[in-house]
Amino acid sequence: MNKFPLIFSLLTLNLLFSQHLLASNELCSPFSCNQHRYDPIQFPFWVPKNQTSRCGYPGFDVSCNSYGQTLIPLNSGHGHLIIEGMSYPDQLLWVSDPKKCIPKRVLDFTHTWPALLRFGPLESTYTYLNCSGTKLDPSVLPMGTSVISCMSGSNHTVVAAFDHEAETKMLERGGERKCEVIERVNAAFWWPEMRYGYEYRHGDEYRHGYYPIDDLSNVFVQLGWDIPSCGDCILRGGSCGLVGDSGIEVACYIPASSSSGANYVWKQYGKKKKQRRGVCECLESVLPLIGQIDGSVISAIPQQCGLKIKIPPINGDFNCSMIH
């Protein structure tokens, strides 16, 4: 069999494919709203005014304001929240309210917050209580409660109880300071002191607690997302992106410096296991024919085998264990 036509064809296709990859990488490089502090915005998030729609996942569009803050929109014209921090490996972000009343925003979570986001692992049930009378001093409140000053007024105080025990103590208050339940909400509130935490004894058991905060008005809320799932890809030193020029199939691109057996490993997400198995069998059957030529040309092999699937360049020691 004459190997030269196959090799020439592979080289030509790979050159075009590599140029396409390069253009995509340049176009979708991480973006930051702040010139003085680098807060990278990367897949699945994207900035419509500065990037194309293929740089992010649908529903994860964000914007920048004149203060260098990253904003995430709420549904139905309900404004936006400020992204204070992100953890791409954990698929978590922390948001605050520009109006400094995040507990009030939480009341409308189901209807106004982005559908693809959920509360993070700190999610818990909080009880909002309306206590009549003049403004309550946080120092007189029982442990496990905080004032919500942004929802309070001159003749009433809104208090958040963090657990059932604290709620019971507030409801047992009598006289002119009587409290009643407004609503019980699920939320993942976060403030800096929470990172430390502590253990305390309650009867015969030990519980984990968080250092209290006097006012819950201007804390952060921890949010997370499940789709697209790219946390594992990030931890392995890779980056996620949309496959091709259309659709929402997501793939993980891992560069040579992050892999131990191949120059590139490409894990595709979606319902294409049969195609991926075809790629594997195709590679194993064709590799012996091309010998020791530059492994980068292998990216074109799927097309040579009649498969409508693309993978980035990989090297000659590719094996089926790399395709799941």
Q: What pLDDT does 246 receive? A: 87
111: confidence class by pLDDT, cuts 50, 70, 90: confident
Question: Taking 80 as the threshold, does the pLDDT of residue 188 lie above it?
Answer: yes
Handedness of CA 270, 121, 28, 25 (dihedral sign): negative
Q: Supply the pLDDT for residue 6.
A: 42
Local confidence band at 36 (pLDDT 50, 70, 90 cut-offs):
confident
The dihedral built from the CA positions of residue 296, 300, 304 and 310, taken in this order, carries a sign that is: positive
Q: How many angstroms separate the CA atoms of 256 and 80, rounded?
A: 39
pLDDT attached to residue 182: 94
Helical axes 4-27 vs 273-290, angle rounded to 10°: 130
What are the backbone dihedrals phi and psi of residue 11, each rounded to the nearest 5 degrees, phi first? -60, -40
- Flag whether pLDDT at 146 surpasses 60: yes
d(CA 267, CA 250): 9
SS (H, E, C) 211-254: CCCCECCCCEEEEECCCCCCHHHHHCCCEEEECCCCCCCEEEEE
Does residue 186 carry a pLDDT above 90?
Answer: yes
Span of 43-47, 164-168, 275-279 with lowest mean pLDDT:
275-279
Question: Within 13 Å of residue 209, how many CA atoms lie on the same side as its CB?
Answer: 17
pLDDT band, very low/low/confident/very high, at 284 (cuts 50, 70, 90): low
Q: For 112-136, how does the pLDDT look when each residue is reduced to its tens digit (9 = 90+)?
A: 888 889 999 989 999 999 998 888 8
- CA–CA gap between residue 102 and residue 218 (Å, rounded): 6
Tell me if 295 sits within 8 A of 277, measured CB to CB: no
Taking residue 194's Cβ as centre, other Cβ atoms within 10 Å add up to 16
The pLDDT confidence band at residue 270, using thresholds 50, 70 and 90, is: very low
pLDDT(233) > 80: yes
**Is there a contact between 105 and 97 (Cβ–Cβ < 8 Å)?**
yes
Give the start-to-end residue ranges of the domains of the chain: 4-27+230-318, 119-224
pLDDT at 295: 44
Using CA atoms, how far residue 301 sits from 19, 135, 146, 223, 254, in Å, is 17, 72, 62, 41, 19
User: Bigger pLDDT: 198 or 189?
Assistant: 189
Q: What percent of the chain has a predicted confidence (pLDDT) above 90?
A: 38
Q: Which of 12-21, 110-119, 206-215 has the lowest mean pLDDT?
A: 12-21
Q: What is the DSSP letter of 137?
A: P
Mean pLDDT to the nearest integer, 286-290: 49
Q: How far apart are CA 199 and CA 289, in angstroms?
A: 64
The token duo for 315 is: 């090297």
Residue 118 has a pLDDT of: 92
Give the pLDDT confidence of 54-96 residue by residue, as tens digits: 999 999 999 999 999 999 998 877 889 999 999 999 999 999 9
pLDDT score at 196: 52
pLDDT of residue 179 exceeding 70, the answer is yes
Looking at residues 102-112, what average pLDDT do you find?
85
- Say which residue, 210 or 242, is predicted with more confidence: 242
Distances from the Cα of 230 to the Cαs of 91, 178, 235, in angstroms? 8, 49, 9
| Whether pLDDT at 147 is above 90 | yes
For the chain, what is the mean pLDDT? 74
Task: For the chain, give the percent of residues with pLDDT over 70.
Answer: 63
Residue 210 confidence (pLDDT)? 61
Question: pLDDT category, 167, cuts 50, 70, 90?
Answer: very high
Ramachandran angles phi, psi of 237, nearest 5°: 85, 15
| 242 phi-psi bin (left φ>0, alpha ψ -120 to 50, beta other) | beta
- Residue 214 sits at φ, ψ, to 5 deg, of -65, -40
Pick the most confident of 15-19, 105-109, 199-203. Answer: 105-109
The DSSP bridge pattern shows strands 145-147 and 124-132 to be unpaired
Alpha helix positions (H), the chain:
4-27, 102-106, 109-112, 164-171, 231-235, 273-290, 301-304
Least confident of 6-10, 162-166, 272-276: 6-10
Q: Contact 111/118 with Cβ under 8 angstroms?
A: no
The token pair that represents 279 in the structure block: 């790629």
